Amino acid sequence: MPEPIHRPPASAADDDALLDAQIAYYRARAPEYDAWWLRTGRFDRGEENNAAWRADVNAVERAAIATLASRRPTSVLELACGTGLFTRHLAPRVASVTAIDAAPEVIAINRARVAASNVDYVQADIFAWQPQTRYDCVFMSFWLSHVPHARFDALWAMVRRALAPNGFAYIIDSAHDQTSTAVDHPPPDRQAGVVTRKLDDGREYRIVKVFWTPEALTARLAASGFSADLQSTARYFVYGSATNAR
pLDDT tens digits for range 6-40: 444 445 567 899 999 999 999 999 999 999 999 99
Q: What is the full DSSP assignment across 44-100?
A: ---HHHHHHHHHHHHHHHHHHHHHHHHH--SEEEEES-TTSTTHHHHGGGSSEEEEE
Which amino acid is residue 197, in one-letter code? R
Confidence of residue 187 (pLDDT cuts 50, 70, 90): confident
The verdict on domain 12-244 having CATH code 3.40.50.150 is yes
The predicted pLDDT at position 191 comes to 86
- Separation between Cα atoms, residue 90 and residue 73, nearest integer Å: 10
Note the Cα 66 to chain centre separation in Å: 19
Can you give the length of the chain in residues?
Answer: 246
The predicted pLDDT at position 2 comes to 33
| 139-160 residue pLDDT tens | 999 999 999 999 999 999 999 9
The predicted pLDDT at position 189 comes to 87
**pLDDT over 90 for what percent of the chain?**
90
For residue 11, count CB atoms less than 10 angstroms from its CB and return exposed for 0-12, middle for 13-18, buried for 19 or more.
exposed
Confidence of residue 5 (pLDDT cuts 50, 70, 90): very low
Query: What is the model's pTM?
Result: 0.93
For the segment 67-90, the average pLDDT, to the nearest whole number, is 98
Radius of gyration of the chain (CA): 17
- Helices 12-29/104-114 angle, 10° precision: 40
For the segment 197-214, the average pLDDT, to the nearest whole number, is 96
Which amino acid is residue 241, in one-letter code? S
Identify the bridge partners of residue 174 per DSSP, sorted by sequence position.
237
Which amino acid is residue 43, in one-letter code? F
The predicted pLDDT at position 11 comes to 53
Cα angle 97-79-153, degrees, rounded to a multiple of 5: 135
The predicted pLDDT at position 12 comes to 58
For residue 144, count CB atoms less than 10 angstroms from its CB and return exposed for 0-12, middle for 13-18, buried for 19 or more.
buried
| 103-114 residue pLDDT tens | 999 999 999 999
**Structural contact between residues 214 and 232, judged by C-beta atoms closer than 8 angstroms:** yes
| 36-57 residue pLDDT tens | 999 999 999 999 999 999 999 9
